[in-house]
């Protein structure tokens, strides 16, 4: 997975920026000082601190980091000055010196335009139903420009002032979800203020726009699998309602912290042995097709079947297996009819694929895959912020 530099201090700095801004918004909201937009507190300023630019411009990130450290020191010295009257003048001078000496970063790198929705997060939970809802809307309203596969080759693409972007590239992951929402509902403009992407605020509700974002991510994952043979951006399994025997139904997402194996039922599916390392969930396209034994965990849902087909970029899902890691990311896919797991099945990686190619992982392919998955957790960067 093409990741940003692995510098721990950069993660810390970016996390700090995001945390401080989010907390500030929460405090202002609790005090009743901010308006609401699209159902969530609205960011009240036209600018925000940018995580995504810091990932690209390490030099500016270093300057910002150092500035934060020096300003914190200056603040400390000021507090000291208040308490220590005899040395106050000297301490004040020192604090001023620290502020002046700080290598302030360039404002246009650190600050970027913000929208009221910039810090909003998706309320959908990335469910199979939401992806399906998005699929219908996408087909009706977006295909003309963005194309059926989201690569920007729709029939109207060439008549646009700028070419529609490839939605299966890193774009959707680079942007904050809240910024995507704003662009969908309000459109986009070029530097001269001319519309480039039309806004859909008059035809789409908030839930529609969030559903479209879910669909575009699922489709983007499938397209990257088609093009690169990998899920180049981390993707979660679509959430869905799971029935385990006669127990009350629960959400797939409620197993976070445990590894999951999701098996699409079908003629070609291998017999499944219980495996203590994983929770096994079988997926069926409809209630009639589900071959559940009592105690098994099953999902019978056309929406879930379609969503997994989209992410796996296949029309023949039956017999496909998926492995989800403890952090809730889809990591591996076993193709139908394949006997053993191999290194090549790991589709969401944190480093370059090993050059040795497809070799079965002896002695226990699944065990080795799990070991690698656990040893190389996904570091998810969204909108420049590490989650």
Which phi and psi (to 5°) does residue 242 adopt?
-110, 140
User: In the complex, what is the shortest distance from the CB of residue 163 to ligand HEC, in angstroms, rounded to a whole number?
Assistant: 7
Whichever of 70 and 131 has its CB closer to ligand HEC, that residue is 131
Q: Which residues bind ligand HEC (CB under 6 A)?
A: 138, 141-142, 144-146, 156, 160, 162, 164-165, 167, 171, 175, 179-180, 183-184, 188, 190, 196-198, 200, 212
Residue 258 CB, shortest distance to ligand HEC, in Å, is: 33
- Least distance from ligand HEC to the Cβ atom of residue 185, Å: 9
Q: Round to whole Å and give the CA distance between 239 and 242.
A: 9
Give the residue from 57, 60, 99 showing the smallest Cα distance to 77. Answer: 99
Parallel, antiparallel or unpaired: strands 195-197 and 321-324? unpaired
- Cα–Cα nearest to 160, from 203, 190, 139, 181: 190
User: Smaller CB distance to ligand HEC: residue 77 or 307?
Assistant: 307
Residue whose C-alpha is closest to residue 180's, from 208, 209, 219, 148: 209
> Would you say 162 or 371 has its CB closer to ligand HEC?
162
Least distance from ligand HEC to the Cβ atom of residue 50, Å: 14
Phi, psi of 7 (to 5 degrees): -65, 125
310 vs 361, beta carbon nearer ligand HEC: 310
State the residue for tokens 């020192």. Answer: 94
Q: How far is the CB of 224 from ligand HEC (least distance, A)?
A: 15
Residue placing its CB nearer to ligand HEC in the complex, 118 or 321:
118
Structure token pair of residue 190? 């070029």
Answer yes or no: are the C-beta atoms of 49 and 111 closer than 8 Å: yes
At which residue do the structure tokens 């009592």 appear? 294
- Backbone φ and ψ for 385, nearest 5 degrees, come out as -115, 135
Task: From 297, 280, 276, select the one nearest 367 (Cα to Cα).
Answer: 276
Q: Taking CA 257 as the corner, what is the angle to CA 253 and CA 263, rounded to the nearest 5 degrees?
A: 60
Q: Closer to ligand HEC by CB, 201 or 367: give it.
A: 201
CA distance 43 to 52: 18
Residue 38 burial (CB count, 10 A): 19
Cβ 276 to ligand HEC shortest distance, Å:
42
Closest distance between ligand HEC and the C-beta of residue 40, in Å? 18
Question: Minimum CB separation from ligand HEC for residue 310, in Å?
Answer: 15
What is the distance between the alpha carbons of residues 25 and 201, in angstroms, rounded to a whole number? 24
Contact present, 291 and 300 (Cβ < 8 Å): no
Q: How far is the CB of 165 from ligand HEC (least distance, A)?
A: 5
- Please spell the DSSP secondary structure of 180-201, one letter per residue: HHHHHHH-EE-TTS-EEE---T
Q: Tell me the closest approach of the beta carbon of residue 214 to ligand HEC, in angstroms.
A: 11
Report DSSP state, residue 340: S
The token pair that represents 165 in the structure block: 């972007």
Nearer to ligand HEC, 168 or 321 (CB): 168
Nearest to 50 by CA among 21, 9, 29: 21
Q: Closer to ligand HEC at the Cβ: 171 or 270?
A: 171
In whole angstroms, give the CA distance from residue 162 to residue 299: 43
Q: For ligand HEC, which is the closer residue by CB, 78 or 157?
A: 157
Q: Among residues 115 and 322, whose Cβ is nearest to ligand HEC? A: 115
């Amino acid at each position: 997975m093409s990741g940003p530099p692995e510098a721990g201090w950069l993660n810390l700095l970016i996390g700090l920026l995001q945390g401080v801004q989010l907390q500030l918004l929460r405090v202002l909201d609790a005090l009743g000082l901010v308006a609401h937009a699209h159902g969530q507190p609205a960011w009240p300023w036209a600018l925000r601190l940018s995580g995504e630019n810091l990932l690209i411009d390490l030099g500016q990130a270093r300057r910002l980091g150092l500035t934060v450290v020096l300003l914190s020191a200056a603040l400390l010295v000021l507090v000291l000055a208040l308490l220590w009257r005899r040395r106050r003048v000297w301490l004040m001078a020192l604090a001023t010196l620290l502020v002046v000496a700080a290598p302030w970063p360039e404002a246009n790198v650190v600050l970027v335009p913000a929208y009221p929705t910039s810090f909003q997060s998706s309320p959908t939970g990335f469910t199979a139903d939401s992806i399906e809802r998005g699929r219908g809307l996408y087909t009706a309203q977006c295909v003309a420009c963005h194309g059926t596969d989201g690569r920007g080759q729709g029939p109207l693409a060439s008549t646009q002032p700028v070419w529609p972007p490839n939605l299966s590239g890193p774009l959707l992951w680079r942007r904050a979800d809240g910024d995507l929402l704003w662009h969908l509902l309000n459109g986009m403009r070029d530097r001269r203020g001319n519309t480039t992407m039309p806004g859909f605020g008059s035809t789409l509700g908030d839930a529609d726009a969030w559903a479209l974002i879910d669909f575009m991510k699922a489709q983007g994952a499938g397209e990257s699998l088609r093009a690169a043979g990998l899920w180049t951006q981390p993707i979660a399994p679509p959430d869905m309602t799971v029935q385990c025997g006669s127990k009350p139904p629960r959400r797939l997402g409620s197993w976070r912290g445990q590894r999951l194996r999701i098996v699409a039922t079908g003629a070609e599916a291998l017999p499944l042995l219980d495996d203590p390392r994983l929770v096994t969930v079988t997926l069926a396209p409809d209630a009639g097709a589900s071959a559940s034994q009592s105690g098994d965990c099953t999902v019978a849902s056309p929406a879930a079947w379609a969503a997994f087909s989209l992410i796996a970029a296949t029309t023949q899902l039956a017999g496909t297996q998926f492995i989800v890691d403890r952090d809730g990311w889809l990591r591996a896919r076993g193709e139908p009819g394949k006997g053993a797991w191999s290194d090549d099945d790991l589709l969401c990686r944190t480093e370059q694929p090993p050059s040795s190619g497809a070799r079965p992982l002896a002695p226990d392919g699944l065990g080795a895959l799990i070991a690698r998955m656990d040893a190389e957790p996904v570091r998810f960067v969204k909108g420049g912020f590490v989650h």
